[in-house]
Chain A
């Protein structure tokens, strides 16, 4: 699967000039509101006609303004989950789910109904009508409806932005399963860094209608100074780790990552499970000598690779800890006082980690319940 997008479009004073490529997985379009994310997705879906654009999915050209190609939305075979559920009020949940199947030949109906209902946990809702469902239930049905149309690409435009944090927490594991089990490539619009860190394989950072950065999720999100201002506060490094063991007496879990062992309050994942942890820059301290008498127990030796520039009082320092990138936010004053500069050996003190995603739990049938919060360690 491949997706190739290049768009030039102008609406009033806003101009969009963006392009990116995806080879599958979940591509997050990340950026502040008004950066043009929704327009990009609407151009891919064919709901907006761009001034100049080229959109190609799997070698199939959907839009090419230079050759006057414009495939109408209903012939694109894409799925679209909108910000609002947009369920058909006159149909039951089951009828809503099956709506897209009508327009597919039997060979194209690749997604089994039962799998979708099972993955999204919507079996009890099938006979109800949309008006009686909660916001989270409606969005799950909307996801199922798009998925059941057997799309070759799934577009999701901040589908859960209207849900509160608890509901969102409930629904994200379903999206992880969708991503891992459906094998349908997804373009996911979001302005929520936790969501992106948790779901994305690739991130396209959009600002003021321009792509400011593209790369893997750890690459883009760890470039804290390149992130939109309002996302910087929560920004940090993403580290892949494995559950190494549990200590039931001390109620601790040990995670192994390249940087070393991370100890944290016991989590409910089995030994061997892979976890994606996010370590926010503001939760990391730097010590120039091995610290003693600290309450924080996670201290990792590292080498400074980069000291952020700029003239704000806080600076993000990039560290390399045996191959894992860590980022620490310290004051400019400390940088000068401690002599922190590239190449310097230091110790990173980690105060807290955020659990974003228990990925690919071996043999699991239900999505693992992640504690998507910040854990003091």
Chain B
């Protein structure tokens, strides 16, 4: 009962890889957008805000379909990226990562944005008077202070990626070994007779990974908080 079939192992490893890449790739963009939304005052801010948070409220299938239209082989950006850089998203694991990143993005941005808004700007001004230019202030003061928020956002996005189903299956389908992640593999099990055991095993694995991620984040977060509060 507890031994995993090769397909299941593949699906789990693929899921982890997809989720990890989704988080790693969206982190820099997410932090930049969060800082922009927290601090910036520019024309079209509300529109950007809406765009970022849209995947949170949109049916995931719609998000997946939009991705397909934009990043598909004949999509607006998809064709360009494939021709110029050889980057293909459609029906590849990279596409699954992209779908996961888009779905996790609002959660990441929200958590980071809240922590940026909580940063005492007087500390940044103090760093400025000590000779630090804006870039250095961000790297040496702002970034360390928002580290707990980044961590929280990254974990949320990672968990969201692991569970991503609708957008992924719409955008890159459910190809074993390439785009079949844990949730889509689980779905496949539920669609065939006698797949109950496999479905249950994958469910348990999903629970275990999610719990692990949350606990790790909690421990790390506490350590970061303790550093800031200075024991």
Residues of A within 8 A of B (CB): 45, 47, 72-80, 82, 84, 86, 88-90, 99-100, 102-104, 128-132, 145-146, 149
B141 touches A88 (CB 8 A): yes
The answer to whether residues A130 and B131 also contact, given A47-B125, A86-B123 and a CB cut-off of 8 A, is: no
A74 touches B132 (CB 8 A): yes
Please name the 6 residue pairs, one residue from A and one from B, whose CB atoms are nearest each other, closest first: A129-B230, A131-B230, A103-B131, A100-B130, A80-B129, A86-B126
In the complex, chain A residues whose CB is within 8 Å of the CB of B126: 80, 82, 86, 88
In the complex, chain B residues whose CB is within 8 Å of the CB of A130: 230
7 A-B pairs (CB sep. < 8 Å): A73-B125, A74-B133, A74-B137, A82-B126, A103-B130, A145-B130, A149-B130
Q: Is B136 an interface residue (CB 8 A)?
A: yes
Q: Could you tell me the distance in whole angstroms from the C-beta of B119 to the nearest C-beta in chain A?
A: 11
In the complex, chain A residues whose CB is within 8 Å of the CB of B176: none
- Give the residue of B127, B134, B229 whose beta carbon is less than 8 angstroms from that of A89: B229
Residue of B whose beta carbon sits closest to that of A45 = B129
Interface residues of B in 143-183 (CB under 8 A from A): 144-145
Q: Could you tell me the distance in whole angstroms from the C-beta of B118 to the nearest C-beta in chain A?
A: 12
- Give the residue of B122, B129, B136, B230 whose beta carbon is less than 8 angstroms from that of A73: B129
Question: Which of B127, B129, B132, B136 has the most C-beta atoms of chain A within 10 angstroms of its own C-beta?
Answer: B129
CA distance A80 to B123 in the complex (A): 12
CA distance A191 to B127 in the complex (A): 26
Q: Is B47 an interface residue (CB 8 A)?
A: no
A77 touches B144 (CB 8 A): no
Residue of B whose beta carbon sits closest to that of A76 = B129
Residue of A whose beta carbon sits closest to that of B130 = A100
Chain B at the A interface: SS class: helix
Q: Could you tell me the distance in whole angstroms from the C-beta of B131 to the nearest C-beta in chain A?
A: 3
In the complex, chain B residues whose CB is within 8 Å of the CB of A84: 122
CA distance A82 to B121 in the complex (A): 13
Q: Is B215 an interface residue (CB 8 A)?
A: no
A88 touches B123 (CB 8 A): yes
- Give the residue of A72, A77, A88, A129 whose beta carbon is less than 8 angstroms from that of B127: A88
In the complex, chain A residues whose CB is within 8 Å of the CB of B127: 88, 99
A89 touches B145 (CB 8 A): yes
In the complex, chain A residues whose CB is within 8 Å of the CB of B133: 72, 74, 103
A78 touches B145 (CB 8 A): no
CA distance A128 to B227 in the complex (A): 11
Q: Is B128 an interface residue (CB 8 A)?
A: yes
CA distance A72 to B228 in the complex (A): 29
In the complex, chain B residues whose CB is within 8 Å of the CB of A74: 128-134, 136-137
A128 touches B230 (CB 8 A): yes
Q: Is B231 an interface residue (CB 8 A)?
A: yes
A99 touches B129 (CB 8 A): no
Residue of B whose beta carbon sits closest to that of A130 = B230
CA distance A89 to B229 in the complex (A): 7
Residue of B whose beta carbon sits closest to that of A92 = B230
Given A72-B128, A99-B140, A102-B132, 11 more pairs with CB closer than 8 A? A73-B125, A73-B129, A74-B131, A77-B131, A80-B126, A88-B141, A90-B227, A102-B140, A103-B136, A132-B230, A145-B130
The answer to whether residues A90 and B122 also contact, given A45-B129, A74-B128, A100-B130 and a CB cut-off of 8 A, is: no
CA distance A84 to B121 in the complex (A): 13
In the complex, chain A residues whose CB is within 8 Å of the CB of B129: 45, 47, 73-74, 76, 78-80, 146, 149
The answer to whether residues A89 and B122 also contact, given A78-B129, A79-B129 and a CB cut-off of 8 A, is: no
Q: Could you tell me the distance in whole angstroms from the C-beta of A199 to the nearest C-beta in chain B?
A: 21
CA distance A200 to B128 in the complex (A): 27
In the complex, chain B residues whose CB is within 8 Å of the CB of A89: 123, 145, 228-230
